[in-house]
Amino acid sequence: MKTADPELMRAINRFHVMDAIRRFGPVSRVEISQLTELSATTVSAITAALLDDRLIIPLQVGAVRDAGRGRPRVMLKLNPGAAHVVGVKLAPDQISVGVTNFCADVLRSLALPVRIDRQTASVIADLVEDGVRRCVSDAGLDIADISGVCVGLPGVVERAAGVCRQSPILQERDVPFGDDLTHRLGVPASIDSDVNLVTLAEHWFGQTRDLNDFLVVNVERSLGLGILHNGELFRGANGLSPDLGDLMVRPPGGGDARLADVASEASVLIEAEALMRDREPDSAPQTGRAMTLLLQRAAGGDKRCARVLAAAGEALGFAVANLITLFAPPKVIISGRAMATSEYFIEPLRKTVAHLLPPSLADVSDIIVREWSDGNWLQGAAAMTLRDLYGAPWGTTGPAPIREALAPQIGES
């Protein structure tokens, strides 16, 4: 019978100890042993090594010595200064950059308004590089102080190779964004789908901190799907992230279509702009204002505008019902900035899900609406890089070369 690789088991145990300290710290060694189900001896050995590496720091609780209780209780927590990382979020109209410490606290951030979808990949890389360098400087750090960078963007991302296969905000396909940024900055850089970053942020800091299984459906210009299963992000071959918008559906009008063509903000805006041009040919809104105007008109009683939003909600509700049938998650988080939080979109979605779910799954999943902020995305990007710093052993969290490059920096922190 083949036995487990001892090095892998040590890496897994170390990761679990680090994760327990991150999630529940300050926490004692006894509590870590209970949370991880590891022996007291194993926990003591791992925490001693983490203290030597200055990844965690002790907090003494109580008097120096209490005759009644023996030695003072020592609590452990992450060392905020152990490392600094940078998170970047690419959106159609903005580049967001943030510098965080080892606890994913945002130390400094900036937003660069720019129409990303009108730029080439090399120009976008220039802008990201400039934004990272400026944000790092504003935080009072040098680029040499940064242990890693993670960029989130919509689309199909092959994280292991650092390649974006396709994105609605990039003109080119198969863009090696990770390697390009690593070369430019001299810092290990990775990329991931933006919905995976917000999924991890939800797991670390949001309403699902105590859950190891849930789904995130991100509704923006495109549609993203984040799947957390057994505490790990689900990925396909070579770390590919699933793109919910690519799912094939058959709309009521007939014919086959991609879900993004009937349920994303981009598809709704096409219908909304056509509708508004029909009504006011001389004052059709620009794309940047069309969604706001559509939501305002729906709230004002415009039934045609409300129907456009309802049709998108029903189409996405059909997909969400299938996802619940497949995964039976305790929570499904619908995230986004504008359309995702509108009652004219979300209520038809909820009703469609309730109608389509089999009775056996009717009470399994809660649907939660979450309006994201730049801080959420940046913390998610930081969390992804920090998981690489932890040395997460499963290979789904980051490319091995990045973890190997970061290891010496952690020891020198």
Q: Tens of pLDDT along 139-193? A: 999 999 999 999 999 999 998 899 999 998 998 999 999 999 999 999 999 999 9
User: Quick one: pLDDT at residue 131?
Assistant: 96
- For residue 398, what pLDDT band results from cuts at 50, 70 and 90? very low
Q: Please report how the helices 374-390 and 194-205 are oriented relative to each other, as an axis angle in degrees rounded to 10.
A: 80
User: Quick one: pLDDT at residue 220?
Assistant: 86
Global pTM value: 0.84
Judging by DSSP bridges, how do beta strands 84-91 and 146-153 pair with one another?
Answer: parallel
Chain position carrying tokens 């702009």: 273
Q: Please report how the helices 400-411 and 374-390 are oriented relative to each other, as an axis angle in degrees rounded to 10.
A: 80
User: Quick one: pLDDT at residue 396?
Assistant: 38
CA distance 153 to 151: 7
Q: Partners of 66 in the beta sheet?
A: 70
CA distance 339 to 184: 37
Q: Cis (ω within 30 of 0) for the bond into 26?
A: yes
User: Quick one: pLDDT at residue 397?
Assistant: 38
Judging by DSSP bridges, how do beta strands 27-28 and 73-78 pair with one another?
Answer: antiparallel
Output the CA–CA distances (angstroms, integers) from residue 87 to 102, 148, 205, 309, in the order listed. Answer: 12, 9, 16, 32
User: Quick one: pLDDT at residue 400?
Assistant: 37
CA distance 130 to 112: 10
- For residue 232, what pLDDT band results from cuts at 50, 70 and 90? confident
User: Quick one: pLDDT at residue 404?
Assistant: 42
What is the DSSP-derived secondary structure letter of residue 66?
Answer: B
Distance between start and end Cα atoms, the chain: 41
User: Quick one: pLDDT at residue 314?
Assistant: 94
CA distance 249 to 301: 30
H or E element that contains 276:
helix 265-279
48-57, 129-138, 228-237, 321-330: least confident range:
228-237
Q: Is the CB of residue 187 less than 8 Å from the CB of residue 146?
A: yes
User: Quick one: pLDDT at residue 356?
Assistant: 95
Nearest to 190 by CA among 146, 244, 141: 146
Q: Is the CB of residue 384 less than 8 Å from the CB of residue 190?
A: yes
CA distance 336 to 369: 8
Nearest to 258 by CA among 247, 273, 268: 247
User: Quick one: pLDDT at residue 309?
Assistant: 95
Residue 133 has pLDDT above 90, yes or no: yes
Mean pLDDT over residues 97-111, rounded?
A: 92
Identify the burial level of 270 via C-beta atoms within 10 angstroms of its C-beta, where 0-12 means exposed, 13-18 middle and 19 or more buried. Answer: middle
Average pLDDT, rounded, for the chain: 85
CA distance 350 to 317: 7
Identify the burial level of 261 via C-beta atoms within 10 angstroms of its C-beta, where 0-12 means exposed, 13-18 middle and 19 or more buried. Answer: middle
User: Quick one: pLDDT at residue 187?
Assistant: 93
Q: What are phi and psi of 64, to 5 degrees?
A: -55, -40
Output the CA–CA distances (angstroms, integers) from residue 304 to 65, 295, 301, in the order listed. Answer: 73, 11, 9
- For residue 386, what pLDDT band results from cuts at 50, 70 and 90? confident
- For residue 68, what pLDDT band results from cuts at 50, 70 and 90? low
User: Quick one: pLDDT at residue 144?
Assistant: 94
Mean pLDDT over residues 59-79, rounded?
A: 71
Phi-psi region at 230: left, alpha or beta (left = phi > 0; alpha = psi -120 to 50): left
